[in-house]
Amino acid sequence: MSAALRVGLVGYGIAGAVFHAPLIAANPGLELSAVVTRNPQRRAALDAAHPGTAVVDDVPALLDRGGLDLVVVASPNRLHVEHTTEVLRAGLPVVVDKPFAPTAAAARELVAEARRRDLLLTVFQNRRWDNDFRTLAGLIDAGELGAVHRFESRFERWVPTPKTGWRESGGPEEAGGVLYDLGSHLIDQALALFGPVASVYAEVDARRPGSAVDDDTFLALTHTGGVRSHLWVGKFSAQHGPRLRVLGDRAGYTKYGLDPQEAALKAGALPGADWGVEAESLWGELGTVEESRRVPTAPGAYPEFYDLLGTALRDGSAPPVDPADAITGLEIIEAARRSAAEGRVVHL
């Protein structure tokens, strides 16, 4: 086997510490070589979780070290474009955490920069490897639902008091709020399953007292193939609806509960045997009101993102996520913001 690819990680907040660093460290083909963070508490946490990993103050210092094969940008959303541009101009491939950029125009510039330099650029849309999404995709491919006409998907939280930090900040440059955060995932999943979108209707609200960003958002997408996707995302949901409800002309599929991988990573677990396996009590229901059955949930598989990425870097194959998909997602987010501001359906 060839030597492990050396990875630099920009940022050690939730994205860097919970998702990227553990998945990189657990992959035998990758080496977490250096991390960018100035925060003393995060430096101490990094040393405890990944002893021996170098730590530097900023992106120029990371690039000056040399010896890297890949950089992962997991900094605050407002810095994605700046940091990704720096890395590309240094001649290195990049993974960017979602949302790819604050605007679709900025995302297009990043893709153009990567193409000019013939460098791999991809976006960490890890929810394509969620257990429920993988299960649903398999059911659709197998024809179990027949022709799907409605897709309902939710990421709901109960966080009644706004927290501090950039994710709860109101400036447009921050790309904060649930539409950019969890909404990026729901839109990406809808596009992956049902293809291009013809029109967007949205309700984008800040419900919690003192909230500076949207915390209760609904999107209705009409796909060019006729499927309608209804997507809910919020932090002010005192009770949660089903994670998925999908209706076809043959059967429906309803699934409650969240993929267990995020909770496992937050608890300090690393991918291994039985990774991403869900308890039978949480399996979804497939069928009709007349007859239905429980369906085993496919294991969640976040490690596959970095498996595919390593393969792409070594043999030049396609990256795990085409950045063009993320551009389309940002176009839908921008259409959703226009729809909510103007109270109308926006046609793409």
Q: Can you give the residue range of the structural domain that contains 295?
A: 127-300+331-347
Q: What per-residue confidence (pLDDT) applies to 167?
A: 81
Q: Of 105, 124, 143, which residue constitutes the final position of a domain?
A: 124
Q: What 3-state class would DSSP assign to 197? A: strand
Q: What is the mean pLDDT of residues 75-99?
A: 97
User: Is residue 169 domain-shared with residue 287, that is, in the same domain?
Assistant: yes
Closest Cα partner for 179 from 235, 128, 217?
Answer: 217
User: Is residue 176 domain-shared with residue 58, that is, in the same domain?
Assistant: no
User: Is residue 142 domain-shared with residue 93, that is, in the same domain?
Assistant: no
Q: What per-residue confidence (pLDDT) applies to 2?
A: 66
List the structure tokens of 215: 């915390």
pTM above 0.85, yes or no: yes
| Alpha carbons within 13 A on the beta-carbon side of 129 | 20
What single-letter amino acid sits at 93? P
Q: Residue 294 above 60 pLDDT? A: yes
Q: Of 94, 124, 154, which residue constitutes the final position of a domain?
A: 124
CB-CB contact of 191 with 205 (8 Å): no
User: Is residue 168 domain-shared with residue 239, that is, in the same domain?
Assistant: yes
Q: Of 76, 101, 124, which residue constitutes the final position of a domain?
A: 124
What is the DSSP secondary structure assignment for residue 127, as one 8-state letter? Answer: G
User: Is residue 30 domain-shared with residue 179, that is, in the same domain?
Assistant: no
Cα separation, 177 vs 163, whole angstroms:
11
pLDDT digits 0-9 by tens, 132-142: 999 999 999 99
CB-CB contact of 328 with 184 (8 Å): no
